Each structure stands twice: as C-alpha cells, then as structure tokens.
Amino acid sequence: MNQTLNFTDISSAELEKLCEKHKLSLTLEESQKIVKMLGRNPTITEATIWSIQGSEHSSYKSSRQYLAKLPTDATPVILGPCEDSGIVEMCEINGEKYGIVYSHESHNSPSQLVPFEGAATGVGGICRDIACMGARVIGVLDQLRFGNPKDKKNQIIARGVVEGIAGYGNPLGVPNMGGDIAFDESFDGYTLVNVVALGLVKEKNILHSFAPKNAAKDGYNLIVVGKGSDKSGFGGASFSSQEVNEDEKDKNLGAVQEPNPFLERHLLASFQDLFKILEEKGELNTIGFKDMGAGGILCATLEIAEGAEGCGFGAEVHVENIHVAEEGLPPHVILCSETQERFCFAVPPEMTDFILDHFNKKWDLPKVSPGAKASNVGVINDSGRYTVKSNGEEICNAKVADITEGLRVDRPFVLPQEITQSDEIPELENLSAFLYEFLSRPNLAERTCITEQYDQTVQGATVLQRNYSDAVVAAPLRDFDELSDKDKKNGFAVSIGGSAHLGGVSPYEQGANAVCTAIQRVAATGAYPRSLTDCLNYGNPEKEKDMGIFVSGITGVAESAKNIHLYEHQNEPTPFISGNVSLYKRGNASAIVSCVGSITNVENAVGNIPKEKEIAMLIGSRPKEIGGTEFAKAINDEKKLKFAPAKINFKNAEKNIFSILQAHDKKLISSCSVIAEGGLMNTFLQKCIRGRVGFSGNFSKFSIAELFSEGDGFLVSITPKNQQKFLELMKTLEVPVTVLGEYKKTDAIDGKNFTINNSVLIEGWKKGLRGEVF
C-alpha cells in the first residue's frame, strides 16, 4: 500500500512508466532532487506529495519570480497576495473597516474534459477561498474562452460550462456578477474557464489561512470538515500542470472533482454561525482556517501548518483519522485526493471537541451528505517537517520547506517578436451592411441566452446588473440593520477584462490592455478603482517560446498596473491583491484581469444605457492599429493579413480614467461605456441597442481603423444641460473630446457614413449566440 519507489539511477523511460502508473508528474531532474533532499528513495506518498506540491499549479515554480513584478501594495490594501484571498477596503464606518475579499482562479483543464463538473467545481473552489478568510461570499464572475463557435464540439463544451457555473452558483445562493464569453479558434480543444469570487468581512474579523504563532507551542489540532475523502480529483494539480491531449481524455477523467453545491451552502452557513460564536467569546482570531483545493488534505494541512511567516512549523497527520466516502483507498489517495466541499481548521486543543460537535452535532453534517463530518486528523509541531502516518506506519517524513520550495526552477525563454508593420486594411464596400453582420458575431452578440441561466440578484445587493453597466455595482451592506440608511449605500463595482484575440498578436499588449480595460470599466460606473486580481493563462513553460510569451505577457500586466495609478492616491499604482497562474494551456496568451472599486453612494452609480436627447461624446483619441481586434478577425478569416496591435499609452489612459472620475464626481455623465471589443462602432451600436434609441450625428471623420480599433477610451452620453460644463472640464484637463451627435427617439441610426435600422440590427444581434451556439 505504501511502497518505496526506486528513483536512484532511474532512466527517463523508466520514470515515465512509473509516473503513468502512479499518476505522478515529475521530471528526471526532479526525481533526483527528491532523492537528494530525502537522502533516500521516496515512498509513493512522498512522490505523490512532491508531484502535487511541486507542480506549477501549486508552487508556481516557473512563474513565482516574475510575479514579483506586480505591484501589490497601496493604501486601500488590507491584505495582499500572501494567503488564499486578498482583501481591499470598501469603506470605513464609525472607525470600522469593511473589506472586500477577492480571489481569482482557473478550472481550465477539468472544464475541457468534463465541462459541467469542471466549471461547477471551479465556482465551488473559488467561493471556498473567500469563505476561509472569515467572509460571507457575496458574488462570482466568470470569463470564458472557447474555440471556433461553429464547431459542434466547442458548442457542447460551452453549453456544459455555462450550465456548470449556473448549476453551482445558483443553489449556493451567490449572485453571478459579471464576466464575458469569447470564441477564437486558437482555443479549439483548450477551453479557458476563469472565475472570480468576492466576499465581505469586517477587518477585525479576518481569519488567516495559516496557524498562529503559538500553534506549535500549544499543540494545535488539524481538523478536516466536509465530504469524506474519495478518489475524485486525485492528481488534479499535477494534471493541470501538463499539456492535456484530446486522445488522453478518458485517462484523465478521474482528475476532475465532483460538485455538491448544497453541501457547500450548508457548510458556509455553519461557518458563519461558528464565526459569530467565536467572535462573541473573543476567540475568533485564535484559529487558522483554509480552503481545501489542489492537493486536498495534503496541501491544506501542510500549508496551514507552515504557520505565520518565519515560524517554520511542521505537522503530523494520521491518515486513519481522515473520514472517507469509500473503503479500500490507499493512504496516499486519501491524503491527496481533491474531493470537493472540504476545509481545514487549525485550533487550540481545548477548542477541538467544541469544533467537532459544532459540525457533527449542531449542524449534523453526517446527515446532510453521506460520509460528511468533521475529524481531528493531526497536530502542529515545531519540527519543521511534514510527517504522515497510516495505522502507525510512517509514510512521509520530509522537510516542509523542501516540499514547498525544493523543485523551483529558472527556465530559459525567448521573447516573442512584435508585429510592427501592417498590411493594408481592405476597403468596406458598404459599411452599413457590414455593421449588421458585425454585431451578430458571437463575440459581440446578445448574451442573455447565457446570463438568464445565472441568478444575478440573489442576496438583494445588486444595484446595476451586467446587462446595464460596464461593471456590476452592488451594495452588500443593505441588510446590516445596525447601520444608517446613508452607510448602507456604500458599495463596490467589479469588472473583468482581457481580449481573446490580442494575445495571438502581442502578449505584452494583451496583458497591458487587460489591466487598463478592467480599471476603465469600474471607473465608467463612477466607482474608484482600488485593486486587481489576475488569472494568467499561458503555454508550456518548458518550451522557451512559450515561456517568453508568459514573460512578455506578465510584463505588460505589471507595467500597466504600475503606470495607471489610483485616483484616490495618485502616487500609488493599482495593486494586485490576489491571482492565479495557469500554465500548460494552448490558445492565445490570455491575461484575465478583474478590478474592484469603491463607491460611497451606489445611487450615484452610472450605467451604460443612453436616453433620447442626450449627446454622444468620445473621450480620448482612437488608435489607428487593428491587430488582435474583433474587426481584424472579421475581415481576415481567409486572407491571413498581418496587422500590428495598438500600443497602449499609459499616461493618456490614466488621464482619460481620471477625467471620467472627475466628471462623475460632478455628476455630469448620464451613461458611460468603455471602448473595448469591437471598437468604437460596436460600443456605440451596443448603446443604441440597449437604450432602444436612434441617433443623428457624424462618424465620417474617422478612418476605418479608428472606428474599429480597441482599447483606451470612453463613449459617454451627456444631457444638453451638462454639455458645456463637461466640455469645459475636459478642456481644463487637456483630454480630447469629440462630439458625435444626439440620441433620438427613432429607429434610425444615422452616422452620415452609415445608416442602420435599430430594430433590424437588434434582430440579428439577438441571434448571434442564441440558437447558433446556445
């Protein structure tokens, strides 16, 4: 059951067979490092532990040094990216800070193999990352990437993923607050499912995902709460850290976890009850609490036992004490499976029986789900070693630091060559006819066939939904009876950004624009951007070219965040407080970035829908490059032309953002949209569609490239009463403004160089996804 694996003098071919047999992911070099660190051959449990904890998914062994490029500190940050989730200040009321707990995750490989379960467990996992910080989960977002939308297999995967997200988030009782979906043939066979979750917590009630400094001295116990261990998800972290081939689908199915949102909802309620009891006793800050995700009980007990920085704790875990859902499982499977809906506590020994009774008796876990319970599985010590025993037999004994850091690697890379020269853009014979077709493309078409599957308003905090605003706005304090009506209006805006096409042209610009777009979308509502999270989806780091694409992409992400400062603290960068790296993925380089901002009165939040008689104005100048845009894809499916990407000017982007926020402060803007996917033309026509308005104005002054280029810019609508004040403000701020025309109560959209019937446009727009893909 716990054999020793002979890694000494093993060949690459022999190691490959051994790894396939035992579901390991180790290189020959890594196997020799393990032997050197242990001073002997590893047990199968130890080899499994290093395969998981040393994977890219768990240790970021290739990417960690580059993550140091990202800015992580600023005045609003309560907790940066050092635990399961980051925390940013939403507001301060009567001297008490309320924080938004914020985290980002991917479930790419599982969702490709088993779309419903893969996506569902991604939602469950990210919500657990929020809950373990002591927070109430208040929202989720999703950003999805699929291959060619005409391919039946991609359609099946897309439908399964959306159903999985809805199938977990809805019964969990958490609103879906935003996200997007995009298709690009580079993702054929390699779906991206990125998810974000948010929670609310008072600063004084924050829990930490490590044991406190007295844990070893006091002999803290490790308590596992939730489902019984089974073999589902075994090897999931290793599986997510390797290239997955379609012909190996059946072999990898066991690495996908099985979801139970009803159990997780019960657990989240039981935690809130526990936190309230411990707060009343003054004992809330005496415990450690951690989500159990990649690597299961192994990673949770190991990482929580590491303790506060510099403690150097160790732990001893007894496998026979871990509750299981099926008999006959080998010890290393029980320890390392990624069974869902589980958490790990580190608690003082005098609290252990109370914690066990709270879950097993008061909240009756064994009756809620077969095999579910709370179990005392181990103890924290000061040995600095991770020891695992099974019925008295020692099956693991290794230094904690060796497990968590021993397989780090500095990989060589070759940076990608940027496209600097563009082919000539083909002429459009009939711009009006092209626009009807353009708006019906799956990446631009109506999304209600997706969003109608999500509960967007459960919990009652949503103020502006995703269909009415560039960022979702929520007021999570509405049900705090002890607060005044004014205080309850404090809220936040949350957005997401990241082009599906641009990464295939320029990884750097894709990363930079993902940051800029996410920040702009929050600013568009009138909320002040305060923090970011990211999910960095890139290729095989073992290939110099892929590693170079990653380095280029994260450099763009970092430089954008460093150069677009906080509006409230204009000498401070926009900080990343949490994130995720997902390597070994194929498809265009995809940095997916989310932004959270604070707003003191949600009633002042601004959506993106104009009204008749309002004036349309463009903020900022339009780039003349179309590389990596939706327009370039639309005209270039067969011609294979090369177009250079627009290069973001950080100074101008920041100036545009600050000008919009100043105009919001003066209540001069009626609606605001960010110019992103589809460029100025798509942004403008989407406003007409959503507002059911016509238009009379002049777009003829713009070139085709300017009409369809993407990134950095806003399209606002201003009432005639505020027009002059707005123009004077923009002039003072030295921000370019172009008056485009007036929205009308009519079906005709007349831009001088194009004429559109809004009803006909809407008809095609509604069919682009519904009935075609979903």
Looking at the DSSP assignment, which residues form a beta bridge with residue 315?
A: 380, 386
Using the 8-state DSSP alphabet, how is residue 208 labeled? B
358 is an active site residue: no
Question: Which position among 104, 107, 318, 332 bears the catalytic label?
Answer: 107
Per the document, the length of the chain is 774
Looking at the DSSP assignment, which residues form a beta bridge with residue 491?
A: 599
Joined together, the tokens standing for residue 536 give: 């960095």
Distance between CA atoms of residues 546 and 645, nearest Å: 20
Contact 735, 619 (CB under 8 A): yes
Contact 554, 69 (CB under 8 A): yes
User: How many C-alpha atoms does 305 have within 13 Å on its Cβ side?
Assistant: 33
Question: Rounded to the nearest 10 degrees, what angle do helices 44-53 and 296-305 cross at?
Answer: 70
Cβ-count burial of 386 within 10 angstroms (0-12 exposed, 13-18 middle, 19+ buried)? buried
Question: Rounded to the nearest 10 degrees, what angle do helices 720-732 and 650-665 cross at?
Answer: 140
Joined together, the tokens standing for residue 345 give: 């506590």
Alpha-carbon 391 to chain mean position: 40
Distance between CA atoms of residues 528 and 519, nearest Å: 9
Distance between CA atoms of residues 182 and 146, nearest Å: 6
Cα Dmax for the chain: 83
57 is an active site residue: yes
Helix (H) / strand (E) containing 556: helix 544-563
Looking at the DSSP assignment, which residues form a beta bridge with residue 139?
A: 198
Joined together, the tokens standing for residue 652 give: 């101008």
Looking at the DSSP assignment, which residues form a beta bridge with residue 77?
A: 88
Q: Where are the beta strands (DSSP E) in 635-770?
A: 671-674, 694-697, 714-718, 737-744, 748-750, 755-757
Distance between CA atoms of residues 682 and 379, nearest Å: 58
DSSP string, 459-507: TS-EEE-TTSSSSEEE-TTTT-TTS-HHHHT-EEEEEEE--SSGGGT-H
Contact 416, 549 (CB under 8 A): yes
Q: Return the amino acid letter for 438.
A: F
Those residues whose C-beta lies under 8 Å from the C-beta of residue 624, and which sit 6 or more positions away, are 646, 703, 705, 706, 709
| Site of tokens 């890694």 | 7
Question: Which position among 57, 208, 323, 332 bears the catalytic label?
Answer: 57
Helix (H) / strand (E) containing 439: helix 431-439
Q: Which residues are catalytic?
A: 57, 107
